[in-house]
Structure 1
Amino acid sequence: MNYHSPGVLEHSKIHLYSASIRARSLFYYLLCIGHYHCSAEYLVARQRYDSFLLIYTLSGTGYVMQNGEYSLVGTGSIALLDCYQAHSYKASSQGWEILWMHLDGPTMRSWFSVLSQTGDPVIQQLPSSYVVERNLQQILVVFDKQEAVNEARLSQLITNVLTELYLARFAKEKTTSVDAIGEVLTYISMHIEQPLRIEDLARRANLSVYYFCRLFKQNTGFSPHEYMLNHRVANAKYLLRTTDLSIKKIAFCCGFGTVSAFCTNFKKRVGDSPLRYRTQEKGKGPNS
């Protein structure tokens, strides 16, 4: 489909799509996608268009309204806008060639919140634009060739683009510290039956206790203490369902110092005592 609004040149194209109810509840989905060649006249200013807009610049430059002012969007960069809010973007005097898509999905708001943090549009230069361009072109080809749309596959391609944006957005973070948290998570999993002191875990990550706890929660959503308790209880649930080990043995296998501490923490997180949980789970049978 060709669409020629002011500033959109003749050889541009746009494809509209209406996603299924299933796609809207499960996947990232498209409302429309296009490849535009824009002159300096191109300007869009809207109060609302219920979706998110991703713009990838193939050549030239454009501008996106950010913090109340227009910010430059250069070649090889992505702009992500929350179109549920007022938004504006335009081509520069040298023109702007873009691949773009209006998209949405059940977790798209969460993606935008993490990437933006301030609520303003995200503008991100990509260290390597190959993956993003390839995936956007693959989506376009489906519509150009009028192929049957596989909405799960479409969601996968969109996820690939968002993932590249995420990786580029946070590439400047202290990746060594983030990697250290990943190593600590593995260590906890492999030694869950042992006493694990937060000071020792911070030392393994080569971080201060304060920064370790802060970074740990940022990456997992839990404090180290909460994470370990949740992990111990999850292991206990598995042993209660699949073995005939005594409650006392399971408590110690999962790193609880006393049976009393085990029962208290288990009931707090599961809502039942370990014994009642075991009885109920085993009563469901192997096929439940």
Structure 2
Amino acid sequence: MISYETHILPNSDYYVYTPSTLAKKLFFYPICIGSFRYESGYRLARDSYDSFLMMYILKGTCFVTIGSHTMQAMAGQLIFLDCYAPHAYGTDSGFEALWIHFDGPMARIFYETIVSEKGSLLYPAHPDAIHRSLYHIYDTFRSHAPIAEDQISGTITNILSDLLSSEKTQQVSGKTQIGISEAISHINKYFYKSITLQELADIAALSPYYFSRVFARETGMTPHKYLISTRMANAKFLLKTSQMSVKEIAIRSGFSDESGFCTAFKKQEGMTPKEYRSSNC
């Protein structure tokens, strides 16, 4: 469809989409997608447009206003906006962009996680991949190709995952990431044994201090908390699928005694192991 907005240049087009009921329940889905060329003087300000917006800047510069904060965006950057809230953007020099308004059950969680860590103006770690993914969705509509909602959702997921991991990719070397993965594998394999921080740090070939910092950044929890969570997951499985005593489950899950296990279990789950075993959880 051709836009009739003021200061939108020719060869700009957009496409709207109504997702299926199933897509609204399960997937990320596009609401509107387009490729626009904006000329100097373009302004847009609105209280809400129920969706989230990703706008990848191809050429030129624009400004974005969220609340009282205004940012300048340039080619190669991606603007990520919560359009349920008031927002505005425009340009004094002109710009080109690929953009998509989308939503989905997990959209807000992704948005809040990404923006809380990196802000609304992003430098994608893989800008060419972001560009290709957005263009793929846009071209699907432009060419009137069959709409596969699961595939489009997968493409949007890939974009969001790239935005979410971009900072990690830049800050943590590949060798370090491999070391963290090997430490996690070690925990998953030997959680029932005594595992020390030094042991895990040695596996990752890092100092204990740096290992703890990187591990927390990669997983969202400390090595100790990850180990306890893994032990708890095994204990919960055995409580529901075996007739073992609580004491035996505690030992098989890596706890030194029943008392310590019961205390830790109630702290994490809000009930005793016996209560959990008889519950519908």
Correspondence 1:1-288 to 2 at 5 A: 1-65=1-65, 68-74=69-75, 76-93=76-93, 95-117=94-116, 121-124=120-123, 126-175=124-173, 179-202=178-201, 204-205=203-204, 206-209=206-209, 212-213=211-212, 215-242=214-241, 247-266=246-265, 269=268, 271-273=271-273, 277=277
Moved more, 7-16 or 214-223: 214-223
Counterpart code for 2:148: N
| Cα distance change on mapping 1:55 and 1:264 into 2, 3 Å | same
Counterpart code for 1:116: V
Counterpart code for 1:44: L
| Cα distance change on mapping 1:242 and 1:70 into 2, 3 Å | closer
Question: Does structure 2 retain, via aligned residues, the 8 Å contact 1:266–1:274?
Answer: no
How far off its partner does 1:27 sit?
1.7
Q: Give, in whole Å, the separation in 1 of the partners of 2:27 and 2:20.
A: 10
| Cα distance change on mapping 1:123 and 1:43 into 2, 3 Å | farther
SS at match of 2:170: coil
The TM-score with structure 1 as length reference comes to 0.79
How far off its partner does 1:259 sit?
3.1
Q: Give, in whole Å, the separation in 2 of the partners of 1:119 and 1:133.
A: 19
Question: Does structure 2 retain, via aligned residues, the 8 Å contact 1:73–1:123?
Answer: no
Cα deviation, 1:163-184, whole Å, max 9, x if unaligned, reads 2223334433234655544332
Cα deviation, 1:131-156, whole Å, max 9, x if unaligned, reads 22222222123322334433222211
Cα deviation, 1:154-208, whole Å, max 9, x if unaligned, reads 2111112222223334433234655544332222112112112345435555244
Counterpart code for 2:65: M
Question: Does structure 1 retain, via aligned residues, the 8 Å contact 2:125–2:167?
Answer: no
Counterpart code for 1:186: S
Query: Sequence identity, in percent?
Result: 32
How far off its partner does 1:5 sit?
0.7
How many pairs does the alignment contain? 276
How far off its partner does 1:71 sit?
0.9
The TM-score with structure 2 as length reference comes to 0.81
| Cα distance change on mapping 1:142 and 1:229 into 2, 3 Å | same
Moved more, 231-240 or 46-55: 231-240
How far off its partner does 1:98 sit?
1.3
Q: Give, in whole Å, the separation in 1 of the partners of 2:218 and 2:80.
A: 23
After TM superposition, where is structure 1 displaced by more than 6 Å over at least 4 residues in a row? none
| Cα distance change on mapping 1:222 and 1:49 into 2, 3 Å | same
Q: Give, in whole Å, the separation in 2 of the partners of 1:69 and 1:267.
A: 47
| Cα distance change on mapping 1:78 and 1:273 into 2, 3 Å | closer
SS at match of 2:138: helix
Question: Does structure 1 retain, via aligned residues, the 8 Å contact 2:73–2:79?
Answer: no
**What residue ranges of structure 2 are gaps of 5+ in the alignment?**
none
| Cα distance change on mapping 1:208 and 1:110 into 2, 3 Å | same
Moved more, 55-64 or 169-178: 169-178
